[in-house]
Structure 1
Amino acid sequence: MFENLEKFIEYIEKERKYSDKTVEAYQNDISDFVTFLEGLSLDYLKIGYDGVRLWIVELSEQGLTNRSINRKTSALSSFYKFLLKIEVVDTNPLFLHKSLKVEKKLQLPFSLKEIDAVRAMFEGKDDFDSLRDLVVVEMLYCLGLRRAELVALEVEDVDFYLHQVRVYGKGAKERIVPMLSELEQLLKKYLDVRRIVLADKGEIKALLTNNSGKKIDEMLVYRIINGYFSNTTTKEKKSPHMLRHSFATHLLEGGADINSIKELMGHESLSTTQAYAQINLSELKKVYQSSHPRGRNNKK
């Protein structure tokens, strides 16, 4: 098993360019599945869908949500597709598998007021860490980046002449995102300070680093966002993705068309982008029901 798993991990790392976090999750999920089958004296290369179904039942009995189970079966399906590709198996036991139904939670984005409140926390702070943290906040919000895309950025990806940033998204797909003047000025200030702080470190390709010149990781990005926004919002979720979410929603509210937002965010499918439109519509309905005379009358 280990040889096939190692080949698969190398494939998703080097060819598919999956993030470190995704690679680790896939490796753990597949290992757990094979261990489960071994406990039943089953061979992962010879099972049918019945073996997969037993695992799903086991995961459900452990209390995992349908969303978590879907993530694990997605990893498993990718693994078997790879084994099919390299002719280790003849069939994919998850070929006819359908994802479990997941109740969609309406997750509202950060408001502009909440984001501006975080920005205000940096006023008058010109030290390296503060500037770096503000760049993290502003690039997530102004460019609509995924966390993995942000930490992967290199200095050469920022084009001050053309006022744009080159981003490598899922599957190493490249896209260009325009850069606002305010963000440009912040980045220049950050790079000027970094040049002084890291003067003895030589050339550093990574755009976002710690004060030793090492590229920051996704966990630090999460801690930065969660830490600052814990002081400005009562929303339960305070993650980097919430700023990407805010980017899309605020563009919609500003009149941007959904196809343009799709391109800016690097979505393959328009349906993914439309999820943000649904949230915007939900808020619109609330305003309508509270503002229209008939809606107000129904509350009496």
Structure 2
Amino acid sequence: MQSFQFLVKEGKIKSMSPKNWSEAEVREYILYCKTLMSAADMVHEINALRQLLLFIDNPAVDLCLAHNPMLKPKFKGTRRKESMSDALYDLILERSRNIDSGDFHRVRAYALVMMAITTGTRNKEIRLANVEDVDTTMWTFDIIHVKGEGTYGLPRTVPLHPDVREILSLYLILRKKWLVDNNLNSHALFPSKDGADGYLSGNAIRRIKAVVEDDLDVKFDLRMCRRTFGQKYLDSDVDIESVSVLMGHAITKTTEGFYSRKRLNKAIDNSRNSWLSSGGQ
């Protein structure tokens, strides 16, 4: 948004809304981004802008790149970073099962982190979630406020893994009491006592996550939680197409390039198992 404001102020683009951009304005935006981003980030940014504009029938990105093919970096590497180690995940899970049931703030922190890991939610998606989005009968979580909401992003439903159910159930009980104690009426899954709309800010979500970091003397970010979600499902032999859908990606290339990919040892094991099942040697 700040980039848009700067370019409008400089007279490089006419509108704050990309849906009204021409090929020339897309070019100005890409040139500006080149001064701020790495090649990997540029590829991701251009792809996201293209997807957004195509959703509203604006081919400006495609036209721009067709006439200026050198604008898009030829990035052949990967931005995929490490997911959470099994040891760290097990540490968080074990601690979540042994918290003082009356410690609202610690229970909330572990519920949030376990939700982030086991549902693959982005900061915004968990921040704006409502308590009604959680179904503790079918054990599913409806993710409504997705990335690209209102344009290319589509709501999705993910299963609530058994590992999160215990701490989530405890949190939901304590959440009700906390709302009564603070004379609040909020639909937010993780409600705010200070926010005008009843929802926590993005920074507040990170501060709650930091309670777990401080408690265990470890460091991780929410994107690592999201990568771990994808990796654990792939390691459990869920196919990449299904994992991509659960993560809210339009194409599997995004999942593999930026988040998760089947580990080599799992690929080898799966190959050997397929040989055995087919009678091969």
Normalising by structure 2, report the TM-score. Answer: 0.69
What's the secondary structure of 1:94's corresponding residue? helix
Shift in CA distance, 212/181, structure 1 to aligned 2, threshold 3 Å: farther
Change (3 A) 1:43 1:83: farther
Q: Which of 200, 205, 220 is equivalent to 1:221? A: 205
Give 1:251 deviation, angstroms: 1.5
Give, as a single letter, the amino acid of the residue that structure 2 aligns with 1:167. I
1:280 to 251, 258, 263: 263
Pair 1:113-2:87 in alignment: yes
Comparing 28-37 with 217-226, greater Cα deviation is found at 217-226
AA aligned opposite 1:114 = L
* Cα distance in structure 1, aligned partners of 2:190 and 2:171: 10
User: Contact 1:140–1:240 (CA<8 Å) still a contact in 2?
Assistant: yes
Deviation of 1:173 after TM superposition, in Å, equals: 2.0
Q: 2:74 aligns with which of 101, 113, 122?
A: 101
| Secondary structure, aligned partner of 1:166 | strand
User: 1:184-195 alignment to 2 at 5 Å?
Assistant: 184-195=165-176
Please state if 1:196 is matched with 2:174.
no
The 5-angstrom pairing of residues 1-300 of structure 1 reads 27-37=1-11, 49=24, 60=34, 62=35, 64-69=37-42, 94=64, 96=66, 99-102=72-75, 103-121=77-95, 123-125=98-100, 126-168=102-144, 169-170=146-147, 171=149, 173-199=154-180, 201-210=183-192, 214-225=198-209, 228-229=212-213, 233=218, 238-275=220-257, 276=259, 278=261, 280-281=263-264
CA shift, 1:244, in A, is 1.3
Contact 2:109 2:208 in 1 (8 A): yes
Query: Which amino acid letter does the alignment assign opposite residue 280 of structure 1?
Result: R
Q: Do 1:154 and 1:205's aligned partners in 2 also have CA atoms closer than 8 Å?
A: yes
Amino acid at match of 2:203: M
Shift of 1:157: 1.0
SS at match of 1:198: helix
Q: What SS does structure 2 have at the residue aligned with 1:176? A: strand
Go from structure 1 to structure 2 and tell me whether the alpha carbon gap of 1:75 and 1:31 turns closer, same or farther (over 3 Å shift). Answer: farther
Query: In the alignment, is the contact (CA less than 8 A) between 1:114 and 1:232 conserved in 2?
Result: no
Paired letter, 2:229 = F
CA RMSD of aligned residues (A): 4.0
Percent of residue pairs identical: 21
Higher relative CO (Cα under 8 Å, sequence separation at least 6) belongs to 2
Q: Hey, what does 2:273 align to over in structure 1?
A: none
Which residue in the other structure is 2:277 paired with? none
Q: CA deviation at 1:185?
A: 2.8
d(CA) in 2 for partners of 1:128, 1:105: 36
1:119-167: per-residue Cα shift (whole Å, max 9, x none)? 4555333311111111111111111222221112111111122221111
In the aligned structure 1, how far is the partner of 2:126 from the partner of 2:21? Answer: 41
Distance in structure 2 (CA, Å) of the matches to 1:75 and 1:36: 24
- Cα offset, 1:273, TM superposition: 2.7
Distance 1:37 1:280, change over 3 A: farther
CA contact (8 A) 2:117 2:229 kept: yes
| Residues 151, 216 of structure 1: 8 Å contact kept | yes
Q: Which runs of 5+ in 1 are unaligned?
A: 1-26, 288-300
- Give the letter aligned to residue 115 of structure 1: Y
Letter in 1 for 2:140: Q
CA distance in 1, matches of 2:64, 2:262: 32
Query: How far apart are residue 284 of structure 1 and its match?
Result: 6.4
Counterpart secondary structure, 1:148: helix
C-alpha spacing 1:249/1:53, structure 2 compared with 1 (3 Å) = same
Larger radius of gyration: 1
